Amino acid sequence: MVMETRSTKRKKLWFASNHEGDNDLDRITDLPDAILHHILLLLPLKSIAQTSVLSQRWRSLWSSFPDLDFSTMNPSKAICSTPKLKSKRWWSSMDFIDNVLALRDKHSDLRALRFRAHLSFSHLNGLIRRAIRCNVQELDVEVATGDYFNFPRGVIMSESLRVLKLRSRYPGFRLLPSSVMNIGFQSLHTLSLSLVILYEQSSLLDLFTESSFPCLKNLNLDACFGMKHLKVCCRALEDLTLENCFQLHSLDICCAQLENLRVASCFDAYSDKTWFKVNAPRLRSISWEYNSITASSSLVNLTSLHKASVGFSLLHENLSVEKLQSVCNFLSGLSHVHSLTLESQCVEILSNKNDIINLLHPFNNLKVLELHTGFEKNNVPGLAFLFRSSPTLHTLILKIINDFKIERRQWNRDLWDLSTSAEEQYWESQLQTLRPFLDHLKVVKIHGFLECENEVSLAKFLLKHGKDLQEMTLCAAKFCNYKDSLRRQKVRSQIMGFSWASSNAKIVFLLSSS
């Protein structure tokens, strides 16, 4: 608590005696520090600093302010892409950061320090040491330096640090040896590292172990260049994100508490020895985005899985037998999922590689299925297989990727009346195997609906045989062409004009804004 001087007390007594009954008393200043700090949090940092000229009381509040977020200062020019670009305005901002930390009340703890900086490694180390001496709990730093720098040692043994986010823009930083890193961070629960140079330390197999980082719940690794092998077994970990690790060969995750996993743009696409393994009985969500297909995959104990999104990055269509088997194992490992999104590459693989279809496990718990597809003729078998594998599906969402360079066969009146198109015949031939799927399906949404043969055939088939169907939404792209508009009206009238299996079904036609 800040002690008031005699002069301040006399002024308050004089003011109170001469303004009895007034409503103009400065009641804000008399609020406790914690409440005033909370109010000040709503202001930009420079505005908070300006309050220090009001009085000794406000100077004290500023010098003890626990949340210093310098990242709001000059954000568009905070970090230059090269070390040669240094403006006077930038260095004046750095001087401001230095001065604020130097004048800070030494007896006040620092809850959070956030800054973006273009500075030397020694300068960075100095700022971090000052923050550690103030028992900082959250350290969020984005830096560019003139050369590679080492991970700051000062943070490792901090007992107060709870959140550490270190992002390097240029040229990157090196981790210390695992034997040094994993002896500390006893209180850390969030770690985020970006642009890490690991060419001399390509295997991180003994860093994130069961005994290291005992309180770590959130781990984010981005752009770890040179990292080939990663093993994560932290016992308290709940959220793991790994992205832009293009040279990765192996990823081994075994975390009893893990709930959310996101892996994006990872794995060496030119290696035939890559592999991925996850054992996470409490995993609720997995997002697999644009990763190269590994030579082997193993997903074990994902019995709590609720949501999954899968997309692969394909350099070429000719996949080895091992990689096809890996795709099969990956999708089979998701068999307990309740909501599944598959990007177009997955649909293509399932459509063109019939030899792996029979090896996949069914999705017996699946309630929501979202498929992104070009919906060309060769995609139809893959879609049918996914429908057969989803016997209790409630909601089907199709997002058709329309490539207007490819000529697609338009629907016409003759095809509708005769019901003898190849697509129509194919769907009818699958009727018996699709019975469980059709008996449970309630909601269908088709985005990018162009009234072409493939999508109209499917819409008609689902309406004709979906006994429990409640709603079908057909969302088409906007057209200015009068001929297209007339065809749309004809297709709509035809869809509305035949008998549906469900008396409760309704159909909604929409135009997308794009």
252 touches 271 (CB < 8 A): no
Taken in order 42, 43, 48, 53, the sign of the CA dihedral is: negative
Task: Find, among 246, 236, 338, 357, the residue nearest to 285 by Cα.
Answer: 338
Is the pLDDT at 145 greater than 80? The verdict is: yes
As a whole number, mean pLDDT of residues 2-24 equals 57
Residue 452 DSSP SS3: strand
What would the pLDDT profile of 225-260 be if each residue is shown by its tens digit? 999 999 999 999 999 999 999 999 999 999 999 999
| Whether the predicted pLDDT of 88 surpasses 50 | no
Mean pLDDT across 402-410: 55
Residue 413, pLDDT score = 45
Mean pLDDT over residues 268-276, rounded? 93
Residue 512 has pLDDT above 80, yes or no: no
Question: For the chain, what is the largest distance between any 2 Cα atoms, rounded to a whole number of angstroms?
Answer: 100
Count helices and strands (H / E) in the chain: 16, 23
At how many degrees (to 10) do helices 453-465 and 422-429 cross?
30
| Topology (CATH) of 340-402+422-513 | 3.80.10
Q: What angle do CA 354, 357, 359 make, to 5 degrees?
A: 130
Structure letter (DSSP) for residue 175: P
pLDDT value of residue 450 = 78
What is d(CA 281, CA 46) in angstroms, rounded to the nearest whole number? 47
DSSP label at 501? S
Q: pLDDT exceeding 90 applies to what percent of the chain?
A: 49
* pTM beyond cutoff 0.75: yes
| Sequence spans of domains, the chain | 340-402+422-513
Report which of residues 41 and 230 the model is more confident about.
Answer: 230
First to last CA, the chain: 59
Choice between 96 and 249, residue whose per-residue pLDDT is larger: 249
Q: How far apart are CA 514 and CA 487, in angstroms?
A: 20
DSSP symbol at 52: G
Distance separating alpha carbons of residues 483 and 259, to the nearest angstrom: 51
Tokens 């000059």 belong to which residue? 74
